Amino acid sequence: MATLMALVDAQIKNTATDQNRIYENIVGKAIDENQTPDEIAAAYQKYHQQINHFDVNAFHKTLSVMQHDVKQNDPERYATFVANFKSIPDYITERNNFNDKRKELLNGNGSNSDKQAIFDALDRRRTRAHNGVIGLFNQMNELAKEHNLPEPYPNDGEPYNKNDPKDREKVAGILEKHEPLLDTVNNFVLSARISAGFADPTDNLKKMNLIELYHYAKNYAEKHKTKDRNAQPAPKAQIKPTVKNDSQDFEL
């Protein structure tokens, strides 16, 4: 029986083979044909669209950094990463059967206001899980930037904005396309955390009373405000070429 690590490696290898082929066909071809820097940048943009904003090679490198550097040097941050990976199966659970639940509720008994309340609750749960995934993707990108690696979830150098419907859609699309890999990685990092004996950071939160939670939240906000002030600003994307879509009229 394959170990989780072997399964992750195999899935990454399969995805990397496809990605490298796309890179050769688009960016490699542009470089070989001695195109202008703007055309090469446009080809790179097209490559990112073709790989649906998920760079599996960068993801592999970032995951290695997380599993080695972060785990050794900052166990609390590592445990937080692992806890955030849990948002992947949570989102998958909320998303699957969502449409069937909706139809069932719509056809069921109850007033419109009752149905609306249940719809809102379903939407809130899914939104919370979706926000968790967006947060995880941004954290992975941040970790990659700190170690001078390419971003695993490139978004023109900007973090994904949970208030932007198009960014939310991009994140949902990435997760849908790479669900098996990301779900396996979640199981892998969870088992690695348990083997290393690190506690789930949310376990302590569940035991705290209101005042302790308030002080924890205050200290957490202060710690991250200081960290942000000390952080180097991310380099802005220099070139933003436009890429003409084939079906521009009905582009999504």
- Mask: binding to another protein, 157-176, rule CB under 8 A, as x and -? --------xx-xx--x----
Close Cβ partners of 38 (under 8 Å, ≥ 6 residues apart): 239, 241
Question: Cβ closer to another protein: 74 or 164?
Answer: 164
Q: Which of 74, 89, 106, 51 is nearest to 190 (CA)?
A: 89
- Mask: binding to another protein, 62-101, rule CB under 8 A, as x and -? ---------------------------------x--xx--
CA–centroid distance for 149 within its chain: 16
Q: Out of 68, 103, 218, 240, which residue is the one contacting another protein (CB under 8 A)?
A: 103
Taking only Cα atoms into account, the Rg of the chain, rounded to an integer number of angstroms, comes to 21
- Give the whole-angstrom CA distance, residue 43 versus residue 159: 22
**Residue written as token pair 């969870």:** 190
The verdict on 21 binding another protein (CB under 8 A) reads: no
The verdict on 123 binding another protein (CB under 8 A) reads: yes
The verdict on 116 binding another protein (CB under 8 A) reads: yes
Q: Are 174 and 137 in contact (CB under 8 A)?
A: yes
Q: Is 114 helix (H, G, I), strand (E, B) or coil?
A: helix
- Mask: binding to another protein, 171-210, rule CB under 8 A, as x and -? -x--------------------------------------
Q: How far is the CB of 122 from another protein (least distance, A)?
A: 9
- Residues 233-252 touching another protein, rule: CB under 8 A, are 247, 249-252
Phi, psi of 200 (to 5 degrees): -70, 125
Close Cβ partners of 99 (under 8 Å, ≥ 6 residues apart): none
SS (H, E, C) 20-47: HHHHHHHHHHHHHCCCCHHHHHHHHHHH
Q: How far is the CB of 126 from another protein (least distance, A)?
A: 6
Question: Cβ closer to another protein: 148 or 163?
Answer: 163
Question: Cβ closer to another protein: 24 or 120?
Answer: 120
Binding residues for another protein, rule: CB under 8 A, are: 95, 98-99, 102-103, 106, 112, 115-116, 119-120, 123, 126-127, 165-166, 168-169, 172, 247, 249-252
